[in-house]
Amino acid sequence: MKAAEIRQTFLKFFESKGHQIVASSPVVPGDDPTLLFTNAGMNQFKDVFLGFDKRAYTRATTSQKCIRAGGKHNDLDNVGYTARHHTFFEMLGNFSFGDYFKHDAISYAWELLTVHFKLPAEKLWVTVYEEDDEAYEIWNKTVGVPAERIVRIGDNKGARYMSDNFWMMGDTGPCGPCTEIFYDHGPDVAGGPPGSAEQDGDRYIEIWNNVFMQFNRTEDGVMHKLPKPSVDTGMGLERLAAVLQHVHSNYEIDTFVNLLAAAKKAVDEAGGGDCDAISPSLKVIADHIRACSFTVVDGVIPGNAGRGYVLRRIARRAIRHGYKLGARTPFFHKLVHALAAEMGDAYPELRQAEKRVTDVLKQEEERFFQTIATGMEILEGALAQGGNVDGDTAFKLHDTYGFPVDLTADVCRERGVTVDEARFHELLEEQKNRARAAGKFKMAQGLAYSGAATTFHGYEHLVCETSKVTAIYID
């Protein structure tokens, strides 16, 4: 079953259960300053959960474009290292706004997976929030999942890949206990079941999270009860496609096959020769072109702050991986065409913006290709000395050669060393302070000499006055 068919089957199933099919919202959230990028299907319904907004329906289903490359849910560092993480992915979801709750959510999920997608029940594991006896009973008694495949999990803030069965959109916003469904890819893959010490592998892959939305967490950390208990679910389309297409890695599913081939071709033509077709770097490139293209479609352009900087970091990380494979001239922007061919039916906005996206990424790429060779030489020099890379080198790479620190860290990780990020951030802070002071000084000078009646009261005094004009600061 191809990804497009899986998406349709999901939406149609929930439509048959009385859900309204709603279009994906943009990856750039409309008016939510707490959020860098849309990170889950529920984002566009946040105010409905909170009771501030009302819709004509109480049940909805979506396939949502998501980006997890910053903020609370950040998977940028996982891409290229796990079989299941992307920076951009599609989240299939069903939502109940004060309508059905735990019983129906769990029953629907099970019916869809085992009857419609025909997944063998014995390959499915579930987790529940440790205190959630109700969810446990529904899984065990109503659905019939044996106790040995139901795991209770608390707010696990421990290991990197550990489950955490209390879902939060961010540090603030709707949240609640959840129950997750895992698929066992079999003993050929390393990794233990959910909740076990060996879970840091990719054998048992989380495919679906069902969140029982019950609270709104405010900045002070207080959990306020929502007006009505609700349901918010999210299933990664790519992860489900991997299961249904009998492959282990998301990167082997139909939507990635052509994209990976296009990436190889573009890298080869740019100097890669005949690069390794199964290199993790090609996966990183294929992943990143999706995130970069969809963010540009929604109006972001590469820059030095906020969303623009996230975009720049992803783009440059991809370019560096191409460089690693031998590319010496721009190649990345050429993949936009292949992506539009692959995903343009599902997301026509991509096809409409194809030329603009290509141009924006090409410009960014041309810019980075001017400095990447020298930057890489410096980094290689530092690595050749053995040991970890110091913060001063990382800062120089950032400041002069346009290497975002996570790019430097990515190279270091490949070599089994780390970069001193603490020192890097210290230097960055110092630079910002200098820029701030210089900004104030400029304003001080300007004020001192422009107003005819101004008497010079000294630097301190003027700084005080002008410090209200924050817009001049560079950060």
Return the residues of window 198-227 that contact Mg ion according to CB under 5 A: 206, 209
Q: For strands 124-129 and 150-153, give the pairing.
A: parallel
Which of 132, 184, 206, 354 binds ligand ATP (CB under 6 A)? It is 206
Residues 6 or more apart whose CB falls under 8 angstroms from that of 404 comprise 309, 312, 313, 316, 317, 398
Measured distance CA(283)–CA(81) in Å, rounded: 10
Of the candidates 46, 65, 239, 288, which one interacts with ligand ATP according to CB under 6 A? 239
Binding of Mg ion by 63 (CB under 5 A): no
Distance between CA 147 and CA 126 in Å, rounded?
10
- Which of 43, 209, 210, 255 is in the footprint of ligand ATP by CB under 6 A? 209
Query: Smallest distance from the beta carbon of 93 to ligand ATP, in angstroms?
Result: 8
Minimum CB distance to ligand ATP smaller for 77 or for 104: 77
Nearer to ligand ATP, 175 or 350 (CB): 175
Which is nearer to ligand ATP, 271 or 280 (by Cβ)?
280
385, two tokens: 């000395």
Specify the long-range contacts of residues 71-79, CB closer than 8 Å, at least 24 apart. Answer: 71/35, 71/36, 71/37, 71/39, 71/170, 72/39, 72/168, 72/169, 72/170, 72/171, 73/39, 73/40, 76/313, 76/314, 76/317, 76/406, 77/406, 77/409, 77/410, 79/283, 79/284, 79/287, 79/288
User: Residue 391 to residues 46, 305, 312, 398, 421: CA-CA distances in angstroms?
Assistant: 40, 21, 21, 10, 6
Q: Which CB sits closer to ligand ATP, 282 or 443?
A: 282
Query: How many amino acids of this chain bind Mg ion (CB under 5 A)?
Result: 3
266 phi and psi angles, rounded to 5 deg: -65, -40
Q: Which of residues 11, 75, 102, 440 is near ligand ATP by CB under 6 A?
A: 75
Q: Near ligand ATP by CB under 6 A, which window of 42-50, 206-214, 266-274, 455-463?
A: 206-214
Q: Which C-beta is closer to ligand ATP: that of 83 or that of 379?
A: 83
Q: How far from each other are the two terminal CA atoms of the chain, in whole angstroms?
A: 48
State how far the Cα of 290 lies from the Cα of 460, in Å rounded to an integer.
50
Q: How far is the CB of 87 from Mg ion (least distance, A)?
A: 12
156-175 footprint of ligand ATP as x/- string (CB under 6 A):
-----------x--------
Residues 77-106 that bind ligand ATP (CB under 6 A): 84-86, 89, 91
CB of 213 to ligand ATP, least distance (A): 13
User: Computed from CA positions of residues 99, 57, 15, 11, in that sequence, does the dihedral angle turn out positive or negative?
Assistant: negative
Nearest distance, CB of residue 335 and ligand ATP, angstroms: 19
Q: How far is the CB of 90 from ligand ATP (least distance, A)?
A: 8
Binding partner at 239 among ligand ATP, Mg ion, none, C-beta below 5 to 8 Å by kind? ligand ATP
Of residues 22 and 91, the one with the C-beta less far from Mg ion: 91
* Residue 207 site contact among Mg ion, ligand ATP, none (CB < 5 to 8 Å, cut-off depends on kind): ligand ATP
Amino acid letter, residue 442: K
Contact flags string 379-398 toward Mg ion, x per CB under 5 A: --------------------
Which of the residues 34 through 73 are near ligand ATP (CB under 6 A)? 68, 73
452 exposure class (CB count in 10 Å sphere: 0-12, 13-18, 19+)? exposed
- Grouping H, G, I as helix, E, B as strand and the rest as coil, residue 90 is strand
Q: Any contact of residue 236 with ligand ATP (CB under 6 A)? A: yes
CB 62 within 8 A of CB 21: yes
The residue type at 270: A
Residue 84 or 333: which CB sits closer to ligand ATP? 84
- Work out how close the CB of 208 gets to ligand ATP at its nearest, in angstroms, rounded to a whole number: 5
Q: Cα dihedral sign for 135, 136, 140, 145?
A: positive
Supply the minimum distance, in Å, between the C-beta of residue 160 and Mg ion: 9
Given CA atoms 141, 144, 149, 153 in this order, what sign does their dihedral have? negative
| Residue 122, CB-side half-sphere exposure with 13 Å CA sphere | 1
The residue ranges that bind ligand ATP (CB under 6 A) are 68, 73, 75, 84-86, 89, 91, 167, 206-209, 234-236, 238-239
The residue ranges that bind Mg ion (CB under 5 A) are 163, 206, 209
